[in-house]
Amino acid sequence: MESPFMHADDMQTYASCAAPDQQTAADRISAYVADIDSWMSSDRLKLNAEKTEFIWLGTRQQMAKVTVSPLQTKD
């Protein structure tokens, strides 16, 4: 996991992985978002799940190998 970029009300984090490791990367990102949500909740803040995005980037050939289903959000 790369270091996050943080602003007053915005944060971006990046991770890279080989196509065969896509599920592990997705699981790590999901766990990271859950940790952020817990941390925010402890300070009576709320993570806006509607504005939370996960984007896969890669070449056409690599993107054809992505088979991970959409990430789930907790309600």
- Asked whether residue 13 is domain-assigned, the answer is yes
Question: Which carries the bigger pLDDT value, residue 43 or residue 14?
Answer: 43
73 is a domain residue = no
C-beta of residue 69 within 8 angstroms of C-beta of residue 23: no
pLDDT on residue 5: 59
Question: What are the tens digits of pLDDT across the range 24-65?
Answer: 888 888 888 888 889 889 989 888 878 878 888 889 998 888
Residue 26 domain-assigned (yes or no):
yes
Tell me, what's the pLDDT at 2?
56
User: Within a domain: residue 52?
Assistant: yes
Q: What does pTM read for this prediction?
A: 0.69
Confidence of residue 15 (pLDDT cuts 50, 70, 90): confident
* SS3 of the chain: helix, strand, coil, percent, to 5: 40, 5, 55
Residue 75 lies in a domain: no
Structure tokens given for 26: 């997705």
Q: How many domains does one find in the chain? A: 1
The reply to whether 42 falls in a domain is yes
Q: How many CB atoms lie within 10 A of CB 8?
A: 5
Domain with 27, as residue range(s), is 5-63
Does 27 fall in a domain? Answer: yes
